[in-house]
A and B are shown apart, each in its own frame.
Chain A
């Protein structure tokens, strides 16, 4: 049994029910994304995404994260390499950030 065994995911690996989420799950999902340890800087962003994601029903975009947390895009990429918006959404138990119209 791991912390993830009772959790439901969609085909792309995003949790389907954000209510099932907790910090332990986040740490486990982070490992799957190649992040062995989550620092305070990581948590600041994860917490921000949780809060906006639950309030709006949508995962925040890259720009919403940088504007909302004051972290530069460069630093955000350093913390969550490759696609930060997608990666944080996954770790925060939210859906995939929507493409734009």
Chain B
């Protein structure tokens, strides 16, 4: 028997496990997926939890319900990977020898890496919304908030879903407006980037929205430490930002065992070829989703687009054929802008987001970089599409980036 091992049963691990179980002869192959958790999180939904729009049942489901027939699901933390020995060791003591390995352990937040972030007001007046627990705790803090300084801080890039902090502020602006206290709330965004977003055209469009909503941007802000005795965020160049409520997006890093295995970069993201998604160090290792160090957004939609390419390449590699498909870095993000509107950006490795329309069959077209109600429906429909995807139902989103409908 040969073993096809997948680490992580989140968005990417769930999808590749199903594809492999369907494609491989299960009399010859064992398909195993390992996850430390028994719960699958719909992470894009975390954005709506702090404002009470989504509850636990919208975003948390048992992993077991998404595991395809024929796949063995093991619940245990991955402790060590020895790539030269094709061997993985789990916390429960089990050692798995593999023939092929897909790493899909995603990325997680690390507040302990910033001085003073975790030991002072964490859970009292400092929260995250990148975990279910953080988002739920933030919900009660926001419902109690009567006004003051709301500070949103991205500690360091890259972060998963780089537009999520912007969406959070747009929704906060709308939430406090509806509550009638917007004039009592000061919203500040402290980001290491020179502007609102990484790509110039979209950055300009998003900056304009921030401006209209009276959200102050503190750009090129390199977070140094938190002085929670004074409720003060301090940058390395000693710019001090006071807060009454801080929403932090702490440092994002891949799983530690990947760094220890010598196949990852300084943030524990697996080094892969950005087109084939194959490890640059070991030919029988692939990395999918947030765990890979490709220069594309860390987002669920990106995983949908890269899945077909990865699958075809792995299959070809097993048969000793040249790898046929190249992932183009395609990303498509709905950005919630508040008051039941959303905007949309579509880009890849070589094209930045442009204005225009996104011609989706049946449900589209959607406005690119414009704020519309249909885009908001698109964002909400994304949840249904996501769970369809997790159940293995194909969704009608073309994989490759296209310039159709875009204005340059």
List A residues at the B interface (Cβ < 8 Å): 62-64, 67-68, 73-74, 77, 81-83, 98-101
Given the complex of chains A and B, what is the CA–CA distance between A68 and B222 in angstroms?
Answer: 19
Residues of B within 8 A of A67 (CB): 266
B156 within 8 A of A: yes
Q: How many residues of B contact A (CB 8 A)?
A: 18
From A62, A64, A99, A101, give the contact of B222 (CB < 8 A). Answer: A62
CB contact under 8 A between A83 and B162, given known A99-B193, A99-B194, A99-B198: no
Q: Identify the 6 closest CB pairs spanning chains A and B, nearest first.
A: A100-B157, A77-B236, A100-B158, A67-B266, A99-B198, A82-B237
CB contact under 8 A between A63 and B224, given known A82-B237, A101-B297: no
From A63, A81, A82, A98, give the contact of B266 (CB < 8 A). Answer: A63
Do residues A100 and B198 form an inter-chain contact, with CB atoms below 8 A?
A: yes
Residues of B within 8 A of A63 (CB): 156, 266-267
Do residues B158 and A77 form an inter-chain contact, with CB atoms below 8 A?
A: no
B220 within 8 A of A: yes
Given the complex of chains A and B, what is the CA–CA distance between A99 and B295 in angstroms?
Answer: 10
State the main secondary structure of chain B at its contact with A.
Answer: loop
B80 within 8 A of A: no
Do residues A83 and B222 form an inter-chain contact, with CB atoms below 8 A?
A: yes
From B220, B295, B296, B297, give the contact of A83 (CB < 8 A). Answer: B220
Residues of A within 8 A of B162 (CB): 100-101
Give 22 pairs: A residue, B residue, CB < 8 Å, sorted on A.
Answer: A62-B156, A62-B222, A63-B156, A64-B266, A67-B266, A68-B266, A73-B222, A73-B224, A73-B236, A77-B224, A81-B237, A82-B237, A98-B295, A99-B193, A99-B194, A100-B162, A100-B193, A100-B198, A101-B158, A101-B162, A101-B295, A101-B297
